[in-house]
Amino acid sequence: LAGADALSDEGQYAAALALLGRGDAADPFAPLLALRRAGLLDRLNRVPEAEAELRRLAAQFPRAFQPMARLGDLYRGRQNWAPAITAYDAAILRLGAPVVVHWPLFYARGIALERAKRWPEAEADFQRALSLNPEQPLVLNYLAYSWVELGQNLVEARRMLERAVELRPNDGNIADSLGWALYKLGDIP
């Protein structure tokens, strides 16, 4: 795993994949190796193989949410919103009671839903992500910026964006969102 990670960090995805292929299926780390292989296959644009690896893992470990979440990420990264949403739905069904570490799953599905023009569902997912992690600047930014674009909840959006800027003061995307909110509110100075 460490060797494959080092190779991957250097952009040597094929070499990392070959190294992970030497793992033993009986190894307790085999599922983790398979997740890493799927990620490398995705980076190498070998999408059908990555999909197959993730679906195999999902079938082998029906209570684990990670394979379906990674499948959702694969589709979302290629702007295939409908299959991404379906994969995230399956991952969320496997969660049980969501806890703080699950906020990225609701955030990712929210993005896919928003891009698929399913705003009410997206908004609910962003709010769910914030209920799990109220100080998450990426979620604060995405939800607040969306509200600004829709002309909704502008005062709350400004508050959220100001908080996101406090949390990530060097993030240009968040600063831009705050500037847009201020403009929309008529606060030109």
Q: How many CB atoms lie within 10 A of CB 156?
A: 12
pLDDT of residue 95: 94
pLDDT tens across 100-151, in order? Answer: 999 999 999 999 999 999 999 999 999 999 999 999 999 999 999 999 999 9
Residue 179 near residue 141 (C-beta atoms within 8 A)? no
Percent over 70 (pLDDT), the chain: 100
Mean pLDDT of the chain: 95
The band of 41, judged by pLDDT with boundaries at 50, 70 and 90, is: very high
The band of 29, judged by pLDDT with boundaries at 50, 70 and 90, is: confident
Residue 113 near residue 85 (C-beta atoms within 8 A)? yes
